[in-house]
Structure 1
Amino acid sequence: MENYERKIDFKLIMAIVATGIMAFAGVVIETAMNVTFPTLMKEFQVDTSTVQWITTGYLLILSIIIPASSFLKKRFSTKSLFVTAAIFFLAGTILDACAPSFSLLLSGRILQGFGAGIALPLMFNIVLEQVPFSHMGTMMGVATLILAVSPAVGPSFGGFVINYWGWRMIFISLLPLLIISLLIGIFSIRTIVKPVQIPFDWPSFILLAISFSSLIFATSSVGTLGWHNPLILSEFFICILTFIIFYKSASRKKNPIFHPSVFRIKTFTLSVIVIGIVQFICLGLGFLIPNYSQLVSGQKALVAGLLLLPGCIVGAFIPPFSGRLLDRIGAKRPILLGNICIIVAAFLYSILAQQITTMQFTIIYIIFTIGQGFSSGTSMTNGLRQLPENLSTDGNAVCTTIQQLAGAVGTAVVTTLVSAAQEQFPDQLPYATMLGSRDALFLLFALACIALICSMIIFRNIKKPQTT
């Protein structure tokens, strides 16, 4: 099937739907669980720095598995990968629905991370491999829509479910959706490129796993140990050292886990930085807003979750529209507009943090989702267009990995800042949470400014996309 004609047909749409449902479920659970943190802390008698591993641990597994997606795509058929992902995800969801302890709940999240780590890049690989080039921006926008909307759906969904049925129903209610996804995928997903028998690059995989794990553990522990603690500094050192070793060794291999040469293309690398920053801000806000609403403003979980719903609805219309703009007028205006909106939202959050109202939270989040919708998917598509076609799968693995790693670090960093303030004022939880949230929001504003600068540099140095 190597001479496959790129066309948009029913099976292609259904394949994107099947992988999209699983990706959507993964991110919805991820952000829905943020609303449950106060409830889980009481039920399982754990603190803020421990409970956040429900999200951070899941994202860490994603970050470790996704880099292998380029190899998995070459080595196994697309359908077999999808079925494997579905089995892992279903097993983890069932375990979480029944978990009697925090450790088993975390184990279920890790199984879900394995499944989502395979499914997430699979969705984008199907688009890159089968969609006509003239419609690539639009279809990438549709695929990105799933990842853009689900972080906002999660807290609203989680708050509603917890308010009426309890946190376990979050997992139970998604089981039928996952089964439907599996059935659709078995029917519609096809393998375009024949699998190749190539060995797995275990040394590179282990180096990346150590690097990413060290980064997550370091950022998660800073709040309790401090930035100058020898253990924290050693973890950051290990993270940098192992990644450098990976980069140098993988550059010399014929079939590495993914080709690091993609980072030699400046416009792609800058696009990856923008994508990572936007995801960092998105997941950071996904943690901060529901917890601020409950712990500082005294709102119920339902209200805290619904704060993000209007932004979710508005943001749902942006990525496909942004993708069409990219196909027609290029990427510059959508990306710059998106990054400016993100800066405005982050700035307003940071200056209003001490006295922000529920309505202000909602309105500002709408501004953020508009910016995210214009920036994230368009930056990914534009970055991948700068790569030769034979490196598109590797580029997709890098983009998706950075998204999940940035989300994990974002959740860990903002949690660390909030936890540090809570430890400083243990008898004043609302006040301490507000102070920690304010510091985190200032950080998100600074990162949003860096994203805009990177985008401006991209379009000052942009070259025509390579197609050979």
Structure 2
Amino acid sequence: MNKELKLLPAVLATGIMAFAGVLIETAMNVTFPTLMTEFKISTSGVQWVTTIYLLVISIIVPLSTYLLKNISLRHLFLTANLFFILGLVIDYRSPNFAFLLIGRLAQGISTGIALPLMFHIILTYSPLEKRGAMIGLGNLTTSIAPAIGPTYGGILTSTTGWKAIFLFLIPILLLALVVGLKAIPSLPVSKTSTMDWFSLLGIALMFSGFLLFLEQLTSLTGIVALLVGIGGFILFYQRSVSARNPLIHLQVMKNAAYRRFLLGFLLCQCLLLAISFVLPNFVQIVLKKDAFTAGLMMLPGAAVGAILAPLSGRLLDHIGPKKPIISGLLLAAIGWFGLLWLVGSPVLLGFVAGHVFYMIGIGLSYSNLMTTGLSALPQAAYTDGNAIFNTLQQFAGAVATALAATVINQAQRHATDFQQGTIFGSQLVLGSLLVLLLLVLLLVTIQFHKDPR
């Protein structure tokens, strides 16, 4: 066997897995009205199809530092791929909602391994002068798939049924398996670190508690969940500063530039996941369109984002991060304001135009925020910095989905008209995120003023 890793095919193979993971994450959002009817569940209940998936990823990703030091890249890749295929088969054959969630859990384990594996390969094996373009290529999986997902899910739900969403991904995962096994050799690992089980327990309690709190905001269960989440955070923080080999060294968070670009990146992730939840459901519930139309509406924005994602990395390599990031966030804010305004006076083509404009901004800024944040760290801290980016990226997506579902569900329950409740809830979600987006734009601008690049 060739003992030299082949960079581009290796990134392609791991990227296909990550892309499939994020694609299916948002492809299921467009099926929610169908699932609610088929399984007789509420808006807040059906969102667990996405939330449990993101929760598992959030718990698995912090293990990446330990896994990458103790297991070969080839074995990690093989494990992730087989877990994904297993999850797809379970969901395709699922007879009830519980089995559907079990399959989503297996897919979450796979994506939780694949995402940090892909970025580890990029950061470790790509030349410095090409790192921006390679990270842009890697972030193609997480910036474009959320927009393509509703289109993919809508087409299949309307034509062959929602279970085909899982079936059609199986040959793609098999292709990734073949490419990855040829590109990723079985390289030796040092096996120098040990597992800090208390850190893992803290992360599991923290993320699970906070997400359950968001889903049960108005109940006693929510208060208990919040306390569990706070307890998990305290345990995780204590282990990160006192354990000999913590899962993640939080010292990287002391870097102000890293923190600000991380915050911007996470807000962009919230926007991507929130809009992929709000718009398809809004179009089906309020405008009375089918899943195919709801998904197709997201396609033009997805195409724009697909073009800009890799190009934005090259732009950063040539002119630096300031202009692409600031202009991107500004354009995203303008497009997002347009979407917020249109929710009150819905026009289908207006949603398409607003989403395209917003995706232009995301395409320019999203991956460059990650590249610039990681570049602010010393090379020895890349692994921990990358783990934090990927962990919080998934948790931010879970929070955005859970919070959007909870707010809209509460608005639907307390409104005299279900459609009016959906409109009001969507306005609350989009308006709150617009305020946060403007705040992040301000913080990033301040950072570039302090450190012009």
On whether the aligned pair clears a TM of 0.5, the verdict is yes
Q: CA contact under 8 A between 2:75 and 2:186: conserved in structure 1?
A: no
> Residue 458 in 1 paired to residue 447 in 2?
yes
CA contact (8 A) 1:145 1:373 kept: no
Match of 1:179 among 137, 158, 174: 174
> 1:216 aligns to what?
211
1:267-282 to 2 correspondences below 5 Å: 267-282=257-272
Query: Which residue in 2 is equivalent to 1:433?
Result: 422
Matching residue's letter, 1:68:
L
The aligned amino acid for 1:217 is L
Residue type of the partner of 1:392?
Y
Aligned to 2:129: 134
Structure 2 residue 24 is matched with structure 1 residue 34: no
Corresponding residue for 2:300? Answer: 310
The CA deviation at 1:453 is: 1.8
Deviation at 1:139, TM superposition (A): 0.8
Q: Is the 8 A contact 1:267 1:461 kept in 2?
A: no
2:350 is equivalent to residue 360 of structure 1? yes
1:277 maps to amino acid:
L
**Partner letter of residue 156 of structure 2?**
V
Choose which of 231, 234, 241 in structure 2 pairs with 1:244. Answer: 234
- Whether the aligned pair in 2 keeps the contact of 1:386 and 1:463 (CA below 8 Å) is no
SS, match of residue 302 in structure 2: helix
Change (3 A) 1:66 1:299: same
Contact 1:268 1:386 in 2 (8 A): yes
Map of 2:11 onto structure 1: 16
Q: Distance in 1 between matches of 2:13 and 2:187?
A: 17
1:46 pairs with one of 34, 41, 44 = 41
Does the 8 A contact of 2:92 with 2:164 survive in 1? yes
Letter in 2 for 1:268: Y
* 2:168 match: secondary structure: helix
Counterpart selection for 1:418 from 408, 421, 428: 408
1:35–1:155 CA contact under 8 A, matched in 2: yes
Show structure 2 runs of 5+ residues with no match: none
Distance in 2 between the 1:192 and 1:326 partners?
32
CA distance in 2, matches of 1:334, 1:191: 38
- Equivalent position amino acid for 1:44 in 2: F
TM-score, normalised by the number of residues in structure 1: 0.93
Contact 2:322 2:452 in 1 (8 A): no
Instruction: Name the counterpart of 1:331.
Output: 321
Query: Following the alignment from structure 2 to structure 1, what is the Cα–Cα distance between the partners of residues 451 and 81?
Result: 39
Q: Which residue of 2 aligns with 1:257?
A: 247
Q: How far has the Cα of 1:319 moved from its partner?
A: 1.8
In the other structure, the counterpart of 1:150 is 145
Aligned pairs (5 A) from 1:395-414: 395-414=385-404
What one-letter code is carried by the residue in structure 2 that aligns with 1:148?
Answer: S
Moved more, 274-283 or 348-357: 348-357
* Matched AA of 1:409: V
Q: CA deviation at 1:53?
A: 0.3
Cα pair 2:215 2:222 within 8 Å, conserved? no
Check conservation: 1:346, 1:448, Cα contact below 8 A.
no
Distance 1:163 1:44 in 2: 17
Pairing partner for 2:75 from 80, 83, 95: 80
**Greater shift after overlay, 404-413 or 338-347?**
338-347
Letter of the 1:420 partner, please give it: Q
The reply to whether residue 447 of structure 1 matches residue 436 of structure 2 is yes
Gaps (5+ residues) in structure 1?
Answer: none
After the TM superposition, list the runs of 4 or more consecutive aligned residues in structure 1 that deviate by more than 6 angstroms: none
Residue 88 of structure 2 is aligned to residue 98 of structure 1:
no
Letter in 2 for 1:447: L
Alignment TM-score, normalising by the size of structure 2: 0.96
Q: Tell me the CA shift for residue 445 of structure 1.
A: 0.7
Give secondary structure in 2 for the equivalent of 1:353: helix
Give RMSD over aligned pairs: 1.7
> Which residue identity is paired with 2:296?
L
8 Å CA contact 1:93, 1:175 repeated in 2: yes
Could you say what secondary structure the match of 1:316 adopts? Answer: helix
Hey, what does 1:57 align to over in structure 2?
A: 52
Q: Distance in 1 between matches of 2:186 and 2:125?
A: 10
